[in-house]
Structure 1
């Protein structure tokens, strides 16, 4: 059975953090869908690229999700954090043991929901103080139970490969890394 992942996008999300995850997961044959938190599928990235998402939040029920992912970037992370339907979905999914992942500034959304309490986590350097209750780490990618966090744009490939490894095994993650001429750390 194919794994199903949803990545939530808001205006101002960091291009590379979001699209690297989508690209590498699709290469791994993971069914990842981009989801706009707006009424429209049209999203503009933090660097002014306008794109269309696969879905809008309102048209999806997420019951088939294996993982939920949040990219960073500003003001995208702020908008994700302010969107109550997403916060409710994350809380319910996490409570049921679902895998959640966030990169750059977005781990602060997970922290605001209490997901990082007594967990090891990381984030973009200027966002580390926002990891309330977490054991802060400077590692590129941190996996603690069902929560994965990562530092930022420069760690996006490692982040995506870690998520692939969690869903399909490290062998598949290594195959994808090799196929894009990437040396895993």
Structure 2
């Protein structure tokens, strides 16, 4: 299962475009409301109904943890013990951890980007402790995918698709979405 964690203040484009791309690729995705909230309010006052709340999800079937950004959303993700536990578990079993915009800072603070190529929203680079900053808008290094921000949310989703289903499936989906 791919868990996309939604915390108050999440960047809507980063979350929803990613979820849409993953579901189009027929990947199993569950959106998770952080803090016990099923209705989560994004950075631009768009309320999204999560599939589950954080107290309902289990580590057993985690294939990926996806962290949308947004300044406030990132802070709320980082302070969640459930999100922290899922990141730790995912890393311990070599599951995918993907973060976009400000959210890669969470991985940097945990020391997970040491020696990894990573990217984030401009201004958060110093939070990517130990990472080599990528020149790309989306960076994949092992089981970690990071991305710059809302403008590359579809590419971020396609990188996750490529991780699970290969570059060929990702490119077919890219073409069907009319992405350059």
Q: TM-score under structure 1 normalisation?
A: 0.94
Does residue 82 of structure 2 align to residue 68 of structure 1? no
Of 147, 151, 158, the residue aligned with 1:150 is: 147
CA contact (8 A) 1:87 1:113 kept: no
Query: 1:137 deviation in Å?
Result: 1.8
Out of 166-175 and 71-80, give the one that drifted further. Answer: 166-175
Structure 2 partner of 1:109: 106
Structure 1 partner of 2:53: 56
CA contact (8 A) 1:72 1:104 kept: yes
Structure 2 partner of 1:27: 24
CA contact (8 A) 1:91 1:113 kept: no
Q: Distance in 1 between matches of 2:89 and 2:26?
A: 26
Structure 1 partner of 2:124: 127
The count of corresponding residues between Structure 1 and Structure 2 is 180
User: What residue ranges of structure 1 are gaps of 5+ in the alignment?
Assistant: none
The aligned runs of 1:166-181 (5 Å cut-off) are 166-181=163-178
Secondary structure of the corresponding residue to residue 35 of structure 1: strand
Query: 1:40 deviation in Å?
Result: 2.0
Query: 1:181 deviation in Å?
Result: 1.0
Q: TM-score under structure 2 normalisation?
A: 0.97
Q: Deviations over 1:95-151 (max 9, x none)?
A: 221110000000001111111011111100011111111111231111111111010
User: What residue ranges of structure 2 are gaps of 5+ in the alignment?
Assistant: none
Secondary structure of the corresponding residue to residue 71 of structure 2: coil
CA contact (8 A) 1:28 1:164 kept: yes
Structure 2 partner of 1:87: 84
Q: Distance in 2 between matches of 1:6 and 1:62?
A: 10
Structure 1 partner of 2:36: 39
